[in-house]
Structure 1
């Protein structure tokens, strides 16, 4: 490197450090740190930071200083000519070098260089024997000619956009909407989109294909992962006479056999009110029971008994619950309904995964921190009907109500 620290350096006033800046970026591309590169070039570390990152306007400065344009390093020729390559072509043409010589120096295809000269060059003679290029004007012209992003299918098709917005307003997920499009429009491929396309139309607001308010209809608005609690430090609440899920008979453990229910509570504001949720494992059919005053063992027992009383006997095989104290009256529940209760292992919510997934769906209707005491039984029944009429991926896009009807008919 030709630039070293000068021992006899004297104050020279403000001057353009063009050569030093170029050498600085070369050293940075070679892996030098900012301080070491600035030491070799002969400047303090602060100008190096400004060259790389720019500088915001603040008190005491007249204006901000943008970062210096730096050509990104590339291991080999990319698809498009870089500005440094266009400058090299212009310099070599000025020196009357042939196209083959320039191609050998750049490592490009001859057709790439010749097209660049024809498109952005200026003939010096009528016979075309001499050319001159303006590399920066050529770069600007090439950027202007790049294809712009096409409007998406959702933005172009008003009927498709209306169908999607209607289903999102009904709290359908994008994965539920996509197969519904194929079912409703079987002979119109222009109406087919993937769920990733729907998410892009919702979140990439620069495209403006779907209204931003519709994102509130998606499952969750969580933007970060919360740390898991250390379940092995929990104290057991009901250690006596608990029948664990691993002790179930084989016919009860089979998900293909209907009547395997999974249950849990959705807790309301300040932990005072709650809703008991029951999900059937093979059909994902949902039952909801209100607990407006408290979720004690007696209240939970009575609400569950009332919820399952109308079920056929073939749908009363087992109930899976976590080790919550609300199931302390499980023996009375089993005597009244003839449904045995099995408990999950501590910190193992996947053992009742259908219920966990359904509780996530229900949080769209009952967000955390909501007072659940005003929710009447009729309101919960309407929510359950809406959930049971949604197509589910786990059921090959059938609804839980349709799958349950088939089982009852059989």
Structure 2
């Protein structure tokens, strides 16, 4: 095998070296196979973070080693991030996050170093923050007792504890903590029997599968006999009849009250109280003279 000077090494040689390392080959064997010295291969290995790993099949939504090499080549050529993202089939937001998260301490982006950092982060066992932080768990439980939603708690934590990033939880993390019993303990029998609890405002203690676009019998919901808004008669523009008004239904706290607002071309608003928080009740009440 021909040997190359470290400063004149083709990128394909370095790529092949790390491919052999990922297959489980030792550093000396990989260096000999690609035609570089052991010291050169060792410098590459140290510069990449000194992580020896074997790639396992991962979801296509994650970046691969080849994707990171394309990102590094594009940055070296001065290409915009959006162009690089389009070439590798990823979103430009994801590429921006990849560059900011896995770049080296000196600010440069090195694909093998970035891949090693992502690998270490992916394989490290993680404990849920609600399980290990008693203070955070108590703060979330206190707000849940006041009937706050997970989204409200998430925004409150970011605003109240701005200098404590470890306390910044997303809505999904709080929901997962409730479903797993990390925030408030509940009887396991209630979960198995499908009963509800008063932890969340929805009363759920386990995740419900959503049948998007399907009716109760499992059939797809399809709208039939659709008509375009351009086919409406010209008399509708006058808004002389109640059925031609534009209505909005405003539901109060705990769904105890509702008001239908009817806007007319004269900028008049009609407030109609509804005894029941239902669309049928609001429609019937708004059409009364």
Indicate whether the TM-score tops 0.5.
Answer: no
Q: TM-score, normalised by structure 1?
A: 0.28
Larger-gyration structure (1/2): 1
